[in-house]
């Protein structure tokens, strides 16, 4: 299924965990005449997509291709089959090692295509961490897979919607380990990446706010000295590099201030500090962006939703928003 594209290269969409809602939201996105315009290349399993389309009555014609360049033109949604066909009795809505292994393989092929310059960007449907673990894959999520395969050490997760952009100092760590990850090096790295991310959104001089680690950003050492001794010096160093950054600001108000337009990007100290305010605003228009990769990668802001997989109730809005942002960021990079 092709549409007039702002890029000469297709956008790769990974199918995600085949037992989750990934196949459904990919098909619904493809069937939507109002979706963002781009040539799409689905990386996954054609049989799973066909069975999903049939069971849910989704009018999407599929065509299997052997190369990314075949995605443009043609009649139907281009699918790049990865590995052998998955079994027809693969369970839907349940954790399965075969689905975990397949989802991981889809991401790996998408990375290879992006590194080779054969696709303009990667948009990912959700993985299931438990399924990957059962398959012997030890990564906690997409971000770590992407960074490891690309050989980058300076990377970060950003969650964004129409009202907030939040970049994380640490991602999938226990709270104890996340606090230990608050170091001058990690703080400065996150601020630099937030600046790069802001530029990718077309902001010439993005305004970066850094959330404090402790309540009231430590209250001058009354509630802990990390903000005073670690975060503040990193902010000063970033200012010395010409980055428009301020803080540390109390975490209970900085996101509200950013939402009101005072800041362009907020650097949050740990996973839940940053993701709760973004997801509270709704996941439909949320997008997960990996900053620091040599290509654009966006993702849905939700999980595999096994509880509704196969029911026809999955909403493709977040996937559509991720595609929209990938197209915009690819154009900005050019």
Residue pLDDT, tens place only, 57-68: 998 999 999 999
Please tell me the predicted confidence (pLDDT) of residue 37.
82
Under 8 Å between Cβ of 65 and 80? yes
Arithmetic mean of pLDDT, 123-132: 95
Residues 147 and 172 in one domain: no
Give the residue-averaged pLDDT of 231-257: 97
Angle between helices 317-333 and 184-200 in degrees, nearest 10: 90
Does the structure show a pLDDT above 60 at 32?
Answer: yes
- CA dist., res. 69 & res. 119, Å (int): 8
- pLDDT > 50? residue 2: no
pLDDT over 60 at 55, yes or no: yes
For residues 107 and 84, state if they share a domain.
yes
Confidence band of 334 (pLDDT split at 50, 70, 90): low
Token code pair at residue 242:
């010409």
pLDDT of residue 171: 85
Residues 138 and 192 in one domain: no
pTM of the predicted model, to two decimals?
0.84
pLDDT for 333: 56
- pLDDT band with cut points at 50, 70 and 90 for residue 301: confident
* Domain co-membership, 2 together with 116: yes
Average pLDDT over residues 281-295: 84
What is the three-class DSSP state of 115?
Answer: helix
Domain count, the chain: 2
What's the DSSP call for residue 69?
A: G
Residue 89 belongs to what domain range? 1-152+293-334
197: nearest Cα among 172, 239, 240, 168: 168
Report pLDDT digits (tens) over 137-170.
988 888 889 999 999 988 888 998 889 999 999 9
* Shared domain check, 73 and 34: yes
pLDDT of 310 over the 60 cut: yes
Q: Do 122 and 188 fall within a single domain? A: no
C-alpha span between 248 and 292 (Å, rounded) = 23
Asked whether the predicted pLDDT for residue 202 surpasses 70, the reply is yes
pLDDT at 48: 97
pLDDT tens-digit series, residues 257-287: 999 999 999 999 999 999 999 988 876 677 8
Averaged pLDDT, 313-332:
88
Give the pLDDT of residue 6.
42
Exposure string over 57-85, b if 16+ CB within 10 A, otherwise e: ebebebeebeebebbbeeeebbbbbbeee
Burial string for 271-283 (b: 16+ CB within 10 Å, else e) reads bebbbebbeeeeb
Is residue 286 in some structural domain? no
Which has the closest alpha carbon to 14: 34, 29, 2, 4?
29
To the nearest 10 degrees (0 to 180), the angle between helices 22-31 and 317-333 is: 70
What CATH number corresponds to the domain at position 242?
3.40.718.10
Determine if residue 46 is left, alpha or beta; phi over 0 gives left, psi from -120 to 50 gives alpha, anything else beta: alpha
Q: Does residue 196 sit in helix, strand or coil? A: helix
| 277 and 300 housed in the same domain | no
**Domain-embedded: residue 308:** yes
Residues 205 and 302 in one domain: no
3-class DSSP assignment, residue 58: coil
- Mean of all residue pLDDT scores within the chain: 92
How far, in Å, CA of 182 to CA of 170, rounded? 8
Query: What share of the chain has pLDDT > 90, as a percent?
Result: 77
Q: Using the 3D structure, point to which of 260, 281, 302 is the last residue of a domain.
A: 281
207 found inside a domain: yes
pLDDT of residue 332: 58
Is residue 288 one of the residues assigned to a domain?
no
Residue 3 has pLDDT above 60, yes or no: no
Q: Based on the fold, state whether residues 79 and 182 are members of the same structural domain.
A: no
pLDDT at 236: 98
**DSSP assignment of 265-313, as one string?**
EEEESSHHHHHHHHHHT-STT-EEEEETSSSEEEEESS---TTTTTTT-
């Amino acid at each position: 299924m092709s549409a007039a594209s702002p890029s000469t290269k297709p956008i790769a969409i990974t199918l995600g965990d085949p037992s989750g809602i990934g196949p459904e939201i990919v098909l619904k996105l493809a069937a939507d005449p109002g979706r963002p315009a781009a040539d799409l290349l689905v990386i996954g399993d054609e049989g799973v997509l066909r069975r999903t389309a049939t069971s849910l009555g989704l009018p999407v014609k599929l065509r299997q291709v052997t190369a990314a360049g075949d995605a443009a033109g043609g009649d139907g949604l281009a699918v790049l089959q990865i590995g052998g066909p998955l079994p027809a009795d693969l369970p839907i809505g349940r954790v399965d090692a075969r689905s975990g292994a397949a989802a991981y393989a889809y991401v790996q092929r998408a990375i290879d295509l992006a590194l080779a310059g054969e696709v303009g960007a990667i948009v990912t449907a959700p993985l299931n961490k438990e399924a990957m673990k059962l398959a012997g894959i030890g990564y906690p999520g997409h971000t770590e897979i992407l960074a490891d395969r690309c050989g980058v050490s300076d990377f970060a997760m950003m969650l964004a919607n129409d009202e907030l952009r939040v970049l994380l100092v640490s991602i999938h760590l226990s709270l104890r380990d996340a606090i230990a990850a608050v170091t001058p090096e990690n703080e400065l790295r996150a601020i630099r990446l937030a600046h790069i991310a802001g530029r990718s959104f077309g902001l010439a001089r993005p305004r970066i706010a850094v959330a404090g680690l402790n309540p009231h950003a430590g209250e001058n050492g009354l509630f802990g000295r990390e903000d005073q001794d670690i975060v503040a010096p990193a902010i000063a160093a970033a200012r010395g590099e010409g980055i428009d950054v301020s803080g540390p600001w109390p975490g209970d108000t900085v996101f509200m201030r950013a939402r009101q337009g005072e800041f362009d990007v907020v650097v949050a100290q740990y996973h839940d500090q940053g993701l709760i305010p973004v997801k509270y605003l709704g996941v439909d228009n949320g997008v997960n962006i990996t900053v620091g990769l040599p290509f654009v990668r966006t993702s849905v802001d939700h999980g595999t939703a096994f509880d509704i997989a196969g029911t026809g109730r999955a909403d493709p809005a977040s996937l559509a928003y991720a595609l929209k942002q990938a197209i915009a960021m690819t154009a900005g990079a050019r």
